[in-house]
Amino acid sequence: MNNKDFKYPDTAAYNFVIKTLDSKGITPEMISSMAYDLQRVFFPNLQMERVRKATTDVLHKREVLNNAMVGLELDRLATEGKLKEPLQSIVMNDSGVFGVDEGIALNIANIYGTIGITNYGYIDRDKTGVIKKLDEEKDGVSNTFIDDVVGAIVSAVSAKVAHENN
């Protein structure tokens, strides 16, 4: 039921996402660094400070926080064995035909338009650095959503930086 008096908890949502990413070893600085590496090719004079500012802005957007929270919570519930079957097995085994993780990622990558989408596609194929590590970690932990969430946030930051430089 929609409660018109409900006030969206911006700070709590931001803290939730930052804390959950941090518990998996992902910091805003790492996100900035990945976005910087992607955009430096196109903008040789790019300042890291600009990318840090874009990262902060992206991480405060409700669309980003909402999609990130849903994905990160599904990973947690799957890791704790709390989803109902067959969803539990599908998420836990990161089934290639599931696609909801990529759907959530596209919701995030899309906020700054098509540049975010193309960057996400590149990151998803390339699976660099920390995203590769998350994708490969398999010891009873679900990282089905977090790798896409992080890749999508990096893509959104890249797109924001690209738009600001054009």
Binding site for Mg ion (CB under 5 A): 101, 144, 147-148
Closest-by-Cβ residue to Mg ion is 101
Q: Which is nearer to Mg ion, 59 or 91 (CB)?
A: 91
Looking at the Cβ atoms of 94 and 164, the one nearer to Mg ion is 94
CB of 40 to Mg ion, least distance (A): 26
Q: Closest separation between CB of residue 166 and Mg ion, Å?
A: 30
Q: CB of 1: closest distance to Mg ion in angstroms?
A: 32
- Nearer CB in complex with Mg ion: 135/164: 135
Q: Which CB atom, from 69 or from 164, has the smaller least distance to Mg ion?
A: 69
How many CA atoms lie within 13 Å of 82's alpha carbon, on the beta-carbon side?
Answer: 7
Q: Which two tokens stand for residue 143?
A: 């990282």
Minimum separation from the CB atom of position 146 to Mg ion (A): 8
Burial (CB count within 10 angstroms: exposed 0-12, middle 13-18, buried 19+), residue 51: buried
End-to-end CA distance of the chain: 43
Host H or E run for residue 155: helix 146-164
- Is residue 99 a contact partner of residue 115, using CB atoms and an 8 Å limit? no
Minimum Å gap between C-beta 147 and Mg ion is 5
Measured from the CB atom, the residue of 116 and 151 that comes closer to Mg ion is: 151
Instruction: Count CB-CB contacts under 10 A for residue 60.
Output: 14
Taking the CB of residue 160, how many other CB atoms lie within 10 A of it?
Answer: 25
